[in-house]
Structure 1
Amino acid sequence: MTKNITVTDANGDIIGTTYPKRAKGLVKNGRACYVGSGTIRMSALDASSDNMTISEEKSMNYITFNGDEWIRRDADISYMTSVMDGTLTEALMLGNWDDREKVARSKDFTLSPLTEYHFIFWLNGGENEKGDETCLFKVTFMGDDGNSRIYKLNRNFIHPLLHQKGWELYELPFVTPDVQDGVTVTFSFVAGKAPMAVLPAREPSAYLDLKDEPDEYEDYRPQRHNLVFKDGWPSISQYGGDRYSTQAIKQKLAGKRSKPEKGNNFFNITYSGGDIDEECRESLEESLYEEAEQQCDELEDMLDELEDRLDDIKDELDDAEDELDDIMDEDDFKHRSDFGKITEMVGQLGILHSAIPAHKAAIKGYTGTLKSLSKSLGRSDSQAIIAQTAHLRSIVEAFEEKISSFQDQVNDFVDSISSLQD
């Protein structure tokens, strides 16, 4: 069976293809209608979704933060002036520097099944100097915490689309499960050991004219901009400000010694006295540059391999979908003893499929971070780049284990389908 039925959105724009069996089900459930022998048109969003902050741009469903749609029990939602356009807008303020995690939850949204959405917002803060904070976004389906998508928003786990005046623009994709009726979805932000703030965002295309403005001293700071401080970081007189306030960093760079001090270089090379020979210095700098370049190349290979693995996993799931469709097309399907099990497996398949966009988004974020590091080669301190790539590598290796676990899940699922046909 092949995907030979064209699928369009409510406006008639083509959004993909599907199987004849799947098309029949969509039409039968009132989620689509035939507009030709080989084409179906999807219905608009359920009427109960009309009051939600959802916009559609070129077949892309965007959802943004709106204070009226969030429960104000554990979160402070108040008006502030947007740094992007100067308008007065509602912002979500969440979390403190203490250990207790704070959770902000939205009201229930009703979304269309098996549909890709993108949650977009501006984020500020959410990091501390120790790097042990919690800053994440969660999408929960049908009120089941076990059926959630979690996105870590700190430490470049996900690379923002844009930096503006201490704020970062995020676009987080997710796919709703394939169920009979509308999908109940709840969004939440979680903050611990660092305060964070969220502002509503427009579609990413609205910001194409804005120039990316990351913190020029980010290599010297343990945490990103936080609006609880006057200029985003502690002043030089506050705790930590003597090390990473803008004033302290400028003073440090202005008075930077030309000769490395003992124990302060990456390889812990020490000097017995006197000025290091210029030729030796150049040789050392060249070695550090080559080491940094090699680490960037190795990371790029790791990320390419992970992307290939995800593509292979997606192909396996597509094949599994074909096999399930073949079984469900059998004349005696509804009379099979394992009818209920197969129906349940269709839902499991949708959940596995929906995990792929989030994994792809994570890889995109890591790749963006790596590109930034690669661009810094030759312009920034090679030792700093080596340290940063080592940190990124540890994150990617942990993500690699996550993909391996996901691969095992898919393999078990595929094996269970094969056993149905034995």
Structure 2
Amino acid sequence: MSAEHFLNIKREIASSYPDFEARATKAWAEIIEELGKLTAMVPTKGPEYIPQVKFSELSSLSPEKVEEIRQIGTVVIKDLVDDAEAQAWKDSLKEFISVNPNIDGIPDGDMQFFQLYWTRPQVQARSHPNLLAASTWLNNLYRVASDEPIEGVDLSTPLTYADRFRIRRPGVQWSAHPPHIDGGAIERWEDKVFRTQCFGDILSGEWRKHDPYALEGRLNARSSLYKRPNQASVFRTFQGWLAMSETAPRQGTLQVFPNVHLSNAYLILRPFFRPLVPVDSEEVLDAKNWEFDISSPEFPGIIPRDGGFTGPRPTPELHPHMRLEKTMISVPKVMPGDAVFWHCDVVHAVEIEHTGKEDSAVMYIPAMPTTPINTAYVEKQKETFLQEISPPDFPKGSQAFIGGGKPTDLLSPVGLHAMGLPIAV
């Protein structure tokens, strides 16, 4: 993709909003000021800053707790699945790996992240009624502007998105997942629906009005313009994983930047500004040392990959005001059967170090509502399941392994529906 193409994206955005330079510059200074307050506070809180709730309490949480979860964008849901059931899934996955030596994964020679989608434990976990009930609760954290029903949209009917799992051994350095956001890279600026309906308030300078949970803009936003493998083409309200082992901070767990509203505002406006001082200086944190600039094709943190783009990948050098070295906090200790979910725009990473004594094992299972785009994807995904091949968003390959999951392994009627399969009467 040419530099001129990216310059044109910036120019088109700049010309789409009245007084764009003045409004963006004012918003940029305000966002930097708010980030300064947040980044001073977060390191004093640590993992306990992340909300933790019990699955049995979801329907009775106070409005204040719900808003806290929305603001931070990440939540630990405890006791989602019985401990013994989650641990049994891990044991079964390890057995599956041992009897299928030709599976793919990373890192080479010491596989711990597996390109597997249709094992029996994964099929069972995704169809577990508690997991789907939690998904429904998360989907309904999104807000609908209209009182009228939206055709083809149902936040209370969850769908299944097949993803992978990891069984990470202790003592191994893991740098494959630095701070990043999934669900759209350059698409956040290039796709007109994405940028105007999801991030229009930020680009117009009215960043405080931005609502990461506004549903309508998400429904038709295209997050995969270039069809890059491993780029989700669906709308996941929250990404998530289900723990199959005990995992605590410094044991290879998830890290998040704990304010989805501020990170969105900062990252969306970042391409329109450049620093006037060295990025490793303390002065770079002062908004006065930045200037509006649309002469560069750069979108900081957007990286070409596999015919498309990955990111945004914020770094301390490119996004100094986020103070990532201090604000990427680890989620609290979880036990087998607990789950962690994070909003689709949350900056997240995996800890480089695993200093624990046992495996850190999780299955990636997001929350995904019924929408026209999601329903169409599930129909295609269902066929890949029945044909024992990789799901549509992932590199093509066979999933025909010994002991693979079957439709009869799904645990609930709602799980069958979520996979697009008929429910037996």
TM-score over 0.5 (shorter chain): no
Which structure has the larger Rg?
Answer: 1
Q: Provide TM-score, normalisation by structure 2.
A: 0.21
Highest relative contact order (Cα 8 Å, sep 6+), 1 or 2? 2
As a proportion of its length, which structure holds more strand?
Answer: 1
- Normalising by the residue count of structure 1, what TM-score does the alignment of the two structures yield? 0.21
